[in-house]
Amino acid sequence: MKTKSIGAGLAVMVLALTAACQKPATETSNADAASGDMTLRVVQSSTSVAFFPLFVASEEGYYAKEGLTVEKPVVVGGDSKVAAALAGGAADIGGGVATTAFLLADGKRDPRIVANLVNSYYVDVIVGNQFHQPPAGASLEDKIKALKGARIGIPAPSGGGVALLQFLFSKVGLDVKKDVTLVNLGGSNAGALGALKTDRVNVLVFFQPVSQEVEARKAGSIYISPTRGDIPDMSAQPHGLALSTAGILKKKPEAMAAFVRAIGRAEKLIHDDPAKTRQLFQKYQSSLDPKTVEAMLPVLQKEIPETPVITADGYAKAVKFHQVAGLAKNPPDFATITEQDFITKALAK
Q: Say which amino acid occupies 325.
A: A
Percent of the chain with pLDDT over 90: 83
Q: How confident is the model at residue 20 (pLDDT cuts 50, 70, 90)?
A: very low
Cβ atoms within 10 Å, residue 213: 25
Find the DSSP H helices in the chain.
4-20, 31-34, 52-59, 62-65, 79-87, 98-106, 140-145, 160-169, 176-179, 189-197, 210-216, 246-251, 253-272, 274-284, 290-303, 312-324, 334-337, 342-348
Tell me what pLDDT residue 17 has.
Answer: 44
pLDDT in tens, 290-319: 999 999 999 999 999 999 999 999 999 999
pLDDT score at 23: 41
Contact 244, 259 (CB under 8 A): no
Map residue 50 onto helix, strand or coil: helix
Residues whose CB is less than 8 angstroms from the CB of residue 340 and which lie 6 or more positions away in sequence, other chains included: none
Using CA atoms, how far apart are residues 130 and 219, in angstroms rounded to an integer? 9
The pLDDT, as a whole number, for residue 220 is 97
Q: What is the mean pLDDT of residues 245-267?
A: 97
Give residue 51's pLDDT.
96
What pLDDT was estimated at residue 36? Answer: 79
| Beta strands 93-97 and 240-245, pairing class | antiparallel
Is residue 50 scored above 80 in pLDDT? yes
Residue 194, number of CB atoms within 10 A of its CB:
15
Per-residue confidence at 127, pLDDT binned at 50, 70, 90? very high
Q: What DSSP string runs through 280-314?
A: HHHHHTTTS-HHHHHHHHHHHHHHS-SSS---HHH
Backbone angles phi, psi at 319, to 5 degrees: -60, -50
Could you tell me what percent of the chain has a pLDDT over 70?
90
Report the 10 Å Cβ neighbour count for 132. 8
pLDDT band at 78 (very low <50, low <70, confident <90, very high): confident
Beta-carbon neighbour count of residue 273 at 10 Å? 12
| pLDDT tier for residue 10 given thresholds of 50, 70 and 90 | very low
Cβ 331 vs Cβ 105: under 8 Å: yes
- Euclidean distance between CA atoms 137 and 147, whole angstroms: 16
Burial 286-310 (b: 16+ CB within 10 A, else e): eebeeebbebbbebbeebbbebbbb
Between CA 44 and CA 75 the distance in angstroms is 5
Mean of pLDDT values over 27-46: 70
pLDDT tens track for 186-199:
888 899 999 999 99
DSSP 24: -
Indicate whether 285 pLDDT > 50. yes
State the Cα–Cα distance between residues 248 and 32, nearest whole angstrom.
10
Average pLDDT, the chain: 90
Q: Which pLDDT value is given to residue 137?
A: 92
**Cβ(60)–Cβ(266) below 8 Å:** yes
Chain segment 128-180, per-residue pLDDT in tens: 999 999 999 999 999 999 999 999 999 988 789 999 999 999 999 999 999 99
d(CA 46, CA 95): 8
How many residues can be counted in the chain?
Answer: 349
pLDDT band at 257 (very low <50, low <70, confident <90, very high): very high
Note the pLDDT of residue 349: 86
